[in-house]
C-alpha cells in the first residue's frame, strides 16, 4: 500500500513536504487523492481516542490553498457559492460550497476574508477543477494565485489550545472560525480556529520549507501525537461532517445534505448563485431525500453503498459513509433516505452480504461538537 504508484492510473504519487517525517514516525502510507499519505501510525482507534482526549496533529498539506484578489472580490465570490461572503468580517472564516447549475455541489471549501483578498482552502481531489472553475467563471478582472509553496497542519483536540498557547499566548484568544497571523516557533503562519473532527482546534497554513520544523516542534509537546487519515475519517463521521465525494457530490444539493445553515437569510432572498432556483425551491418545499445519521444494531458496520430498506424490504436509500465509531463504541453511518423515512427513531434494515441487518435513523452528530465558543 505504500508504493509510489496510484492504484487508478499508475501516475507517480505526489508527496507532501512531511513525507520523510511520516516514514520516520512509522506511518503506514496509502495512496489518497494522488498523494502518498499516512493512514495510521499507532492504530486508528488509539489515534482517534487521543484526538478526542488530548491533541492530534494531522498533515493536510494535500489540500488546495489559494489567494483570490480583484475588485469587489467578496461580491464576485457570491456568484459561485450560496454562502454570505460580503457580510464576512475581516479575520473571519466561512464554510461554503461551490454549486453547479443543477444545485449540486462541486466542492466544499473554507473562505477566509483578509484586508484585500480572500484565502481559499479546497479539497485535494477537486483542487485543479475548483481553481479552473473559479478562474473561468470570474474572468480576467480577478487573480487566483495558487499556493503550492504552502503546507497545512491541523492541530485538533481539547488540548490543542493549551499546546498552541505555549508557542504564542494569543492563540487562546482566537474565536471559533476566526483567522490570525501568528509566529509559531519563529515561523510566520496563517492560523484559523477550525477543523474537521468536531473538536476544538486549529488549522495552520505554513510555508512548506518550514513545515517539518513546526511539525516537530508541535510533536515535542507531551499532549500531541501524529494522526493519520483513518482516524481523521472516524472522527469526522462521529461528528456528522460530510466527506466530499461520499456524502456530497455534483448530484447532491445542500438542502438534501442538511446544509441549509450555510445559506444566510440575505442569500435566500437574493439568490444569484449557481442552482439557486432548485436549491431555494427545496428550501421552501423540502427535498425528496435527506442525509441522516444511521445506527446499525450489533457490531457489524454498514459501509458506503450499503442499500437501506424499510421493514417491508422496499429500498429507501443508501449509506454514504460508515464504519466503527470508537467514541460511540459501535458502528455508525450516514446516508440518504427518502424524506418520509428521515425522522430519528425510524427503523430500517441494511442489506449486508445478502442479509437484512436491523438499525435505525438517528440524530446527528453521534458525538457532540466541542468547538470553542
DSSP string, 301-327: ---TT-EEE-TTS-EEEEEEEEEEETT
In whole angstroms, give the CA distance from residue 84 to residue 81.
8
Residues 314-342 have a mean pLDDT of 98
Per-residue model confidence (pLDDT) at position 8: 46
Q: Which residue has the cell 430519528?
A: 344
Measured from the Cβ of residue 299, the count of other Cβ atoms closer than 10 Å reads 9
Strand (E) or helix (H) holding 97: strand 93-99
In whole angstroms, give the CA distance from residue 168 to residue 191.
11
Indicate whether 3 pLDDT > 50. no
Region(s) of the chain under CATH 3.30.1360.120: 55-228+240-285
* Length, in residues, of the chain: 373
CATH topology of domain 55-228+240-285: Gyrase A; domain 2 (3.30.1360)
Indicate whether 301 pLDDT > 60. yes
Instruction: Name the H helices within the chain.
Output: 19-24, 44-53, 73-77, 127-138, 160-167, 211-219, 229-238, 265-270, 276-285
At 186, the pLDDT band (50, 70, 90 cuts) reads: very high
In whole angstroms, give the CA distance from residue 294 to residue 265.
30
Could you report how far apart the first and last alpha carbons of the chain are, in Å? 41
Residues 222-233 have a mean pLDDT of 98
Q: What is the DSSP letter of 236?
A: H
- The mean pLDDT of the chain is 96
Region(s) of the chain under CATH 2.40.30.110: 288-362
At 10, the pLDDT band (50, 70, 90 cuts) reads: low
Counting beta carbons within 10 angstroms of the beta carbon of residue 284, is it exposed (0 to 12), middle (13 to 18) or buried (19 or more)?
exposed
Per-residue model confidence (pLDDT) at position 9: 56
Indicate whether 264 pLDDT > 70. yes
At 11, the pLDDT band (50, 70, 90 cuts) reads: confident
* Cα radius of gyration rounded to whole Å, the chain: 21
**Neighbouring residues of 166: CB distance < 8 A, sequence distance ≥ 6:** 221
Residues 363-370 have a mean pLDDT of 98
Per-residue model confidence (pLDDT) at position 257: 98
Class of the domain covering 288-362: mainly beta
In whole angstroms, give the CA distance from residue 47 to residue 361.
28
Render pLDDT for 53-106 as a digit per residue (tens, 0 to 9). Answer: 999 999 999 999 999 999 999 999 999 999 999 999 999 999 999 999 999 999
Q: What percent of the chain has pLDDT over 70?
A: 97
Q: What is the DSSP letter of 126?
A: G
Residues 15-19 have a mean pLDDT of 98
Per-residue model confidence (pLDDT) at position 2: 30
Using left for φ > 0, alpha for ψ between -120 and 50, and beta otherwise, residue 214 falls in alpha
The answer to whether the beta carbons of residues 336 and 322 sit under 8 Å apart is no
Indicate whether 7 pLDDT > 80. no
Whether this model's pTM surpasses 0.85: yes
At 373, the pLDDT band (50, 70, 90 cuts) reads: confident
In whole angstroms, give the CA distance from residue 94 to residue 49.
28
Amino acid at each position: 500500500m505504500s508504493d509510489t504508484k496510484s492504484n487508478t492510473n499508475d501516475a507517480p504519487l505526489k508527496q507532501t513536504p512531511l513525507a520523510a517525517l511520516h516514514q520516520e514516525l512509522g506511518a503506514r502510507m496509502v495512496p489518497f487523492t494522488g498523494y502518498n499519505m499516512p493512514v495510521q501510525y499507532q492504530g486508528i482507534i488509539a489515534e482517534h481516542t487521543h484526538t478526542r482526549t488530548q491533541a492530534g496533529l494531522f498533515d493536510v498539506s494535500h489540500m488546495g490553498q489559494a489567494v483570490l484578489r480583484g475588485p469587489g472580490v467578496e461580491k464576485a465570490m457570491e456568484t459561485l457559492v450560496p454562502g454570505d461572503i460580503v457580510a464576512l468580517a475581516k479575520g473571519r472564516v466561512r464554510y461554503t460550497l461551490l454549486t453547479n447549475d443543477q444545485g449540486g455541489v462541486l466542492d466544499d471549501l473554507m473562505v477566509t476574508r483578509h484586508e484585500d483578498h480572500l484565502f481559499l482552502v479546497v479539497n485535494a481531489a477537486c483542487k485543479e477543477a475548483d481553481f479552473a472553475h473559479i478562474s473561468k467563471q470570474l474572468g480576467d478582472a480577478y487573480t487566483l494565485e495558487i499556493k503550492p509553496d504552502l503546507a497545512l497542519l491541523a492541530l485538533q483536540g481539547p488540548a490543542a489550545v493549551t499546546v498552541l498557547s505555549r508557542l504564542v499566548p494569543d492563540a487562546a484568544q482566537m474565536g471559533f472560525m476566526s483567522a490570525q497571523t501568528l509566529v509559531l516557533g519563529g515561523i510566520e503562519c496563517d492560523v484559523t480556529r477550525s477543523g474537521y473532527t468536531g473538536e476544538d482546534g486549529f488549522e495552520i497554513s505554513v510555508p512548506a520549507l518550514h513545515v517539518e520544523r513546526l511539525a516537530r516542534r508541535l510533536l515535542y509537546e507531551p499532549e500531541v501525537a501524529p494522526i493519520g487519515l483513518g482516524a481523521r475519517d472516524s472522527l469526522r463521521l462521529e461528528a456528522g461532517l460530510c466527506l466530499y465525494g461520499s456524502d456530497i457530490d455534483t448530484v447532491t444539493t445542500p438542502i438534501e445534505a442538511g446544509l441549509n445553515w450555510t445559506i444566510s437569510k440575505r442569500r435566500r432572498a437574493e439568490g444569484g448563485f449557481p442552482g439557486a432556483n432548485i436549491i431555494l425551491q427545496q428550501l421552501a418545499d423540502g427535498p425528496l431525500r435527506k442525509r441522516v445519521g444511521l445506527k446499525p444494531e450489533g457490531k457489524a458496520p454498514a459501509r458506503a453503498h450499503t442499500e437501506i430498506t424499510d421493514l417491508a424490504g422496499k429500498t429507501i436509500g443508501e449509506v454514504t459513509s460508515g464504519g466503527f465509531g470508537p467514541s460511540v463504541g459501535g458502528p455508525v453511518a450516514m446516508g440518504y433516505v427518502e424524506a418520509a423515512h428521515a425522522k430519528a427513531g425510524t427503523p430500517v434494515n441494511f442489506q449486508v452480504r445478502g442479509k437484512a441487518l436491523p438499525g435505525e435513523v438517528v440524530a446527528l452528530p453521534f458525538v457532540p461538537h466541542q468547538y470553542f465558543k
